[in-house]
Amino acid sequence: MDDACALADVPLADALVHVPFETVDGRIYVQARVNGRGPFRFAIDTGASGMGRADTSLVTLLGLSMHGEATTSDGVKSASVATTRLDSLELGGVVRRDLEVIARDYNSRNAPDAVFSGIIAREFFTDGLLVIDYPGKTLSFSREQRLPVSGDNVLSYERAFRVPVSIGALQTVGHLDTGANISFVLPQALYEKVAAGPLEQAGRAQLTNGRIDTGRATVRGPIRVGEISASDVEVRVSAQFPELLVGAHALQDAVVLIDQRSKSVAVCR
């Protein structure tokens, strides 16, 4: 199939997962089972490494013990965190077993309507094609279908999921992160290449391991990622942030396809 976005227009053949999701502030939530129990509300976060995360509320509910330690990074700061072991994590017809996952209190910083029991991270979907249909509010996963390595609307990457992005005439790379409840974050140095004028102070933004100072500005653009394009976009800007981030708010009108086998992504209208 030459056009990767053609896969966004048809149901996935032999889909192992085809489930509805809800969104809160742009983030995706599905119902998953842990250790045969549930369902529990889990966030889908392509910006998170590994198989998943467990909130401490789930650890307590299931009587799990803290098993070890790991290091996690939010791109700015690293932190040592505890881990726990899950016998199984199940979404639709996909079951991952014997998982060591980070366990921490995520919900203390979440609004009541955004609380969750855990996170399903990118490696949960490493052996197939993941399709996130934002307008249709459905998530699908198939091992039978795949994105090509190259072709129309194929965005290849080396590091997950850093894909080509254009801002006006400037060609750059952005981190596609469905777990970030924002449209775009630009490093200060990148902002100075694509826009002019002072920044409006926007306060401190919360990352996983800390907070950063941010400004707010409008970028004429257009900012293009795959088939989606936006002009006169409000962005956050930070001298502390290391890379362009493409967050969940920028993807709400798109169908996002990710195939980690071919290291390719498609962002389709």
Domain-located, residue 248? yes
pLDDT tens digits in sequence order for the chain, 269 residues long: 568 998 887 777 789 999 999 999 999 999 999 999 999 999 999 999 999 999 999 999 999 999 888 777 767 767 788 999 999 999 999 999 999 999 999 999 888 999 999 999 999 999 999 999 999 999 999 999 999 999 999 999 999 999 999 999 999 999 999 999 999 999 999 999 998 778 888 877 766 757 778 899 999 999 999 999 999 999 999 998 999 999 999 999 999 999 999 999 999 99
For tokens 């921490």, the residue is 104
pTM over 0.85: yes
Picking from 186, 180, 177, 184, the residue whose alpha carbon sits closest to that of residue 238 is 186
- Last-in-domain residue among 88, 121, 142: 142
Q: What's the CA gap between 24 and 42, in Å, rounded?
A: 12
Please indicate, yes or no, whether residues 171 and 232 belong to a single structural domain of this protein: yes
Domain-located, residue 148? no
**Cis amide bond preceding 39, omega within 30:** yes
- Last-in-domain residue among 87, 107, 142: 142
Residue 120 forms beta bridges with which residues? Answer: 44, 52
Q: What's the CA gap between 115 and 109, in Å, rounded?
A: 9
CATH number for the domain that contains residue 39 = 2.40.70.10
Instruction: Give the domain range for residue 173.
Output: 155-268
- Last-in-domain residue among 109, 142, 175: 142
Q: What's the CA gap between 254 and 226, in Å, rounded?
A: 10
Please indicate, yes or no, whether residues 73 and 173 belong to a single structural domain of this protein: no
Please indicate, yes or no, whether residues 133 and 163 belong to a single structural domain of this protein: no
How much is the mean pLDDT over the chain?
A: 92
Q: What's the CA gap between 197 and 28, in Å, rounded?
A: 34
Please indicate, yes or no, whether residues 163 and 118 belong to a single structural domain of this protein: no
Domain-located, residue 2? no
User: How many structural domains are present in the chain?
Assistant: 2
Instruction: Please give the structure tokens belonging to residue 56.
Output: 């401490």
Q: C-alpha 128: how far from its chain's center?
A: 16
Q: What's the CA gap between 164 and 172, in Å, rounded?
A: 6
How far does the chain reach from its first CA to its final CA, in angstroms? Answer: 17
Please indicate, yes or no, whether residues 182 and 264 belong to a single structural domain of this protein: yes
Please indicate, yes or no, whether residues 261 and 240 belong to a single structural domain of this protein: yes
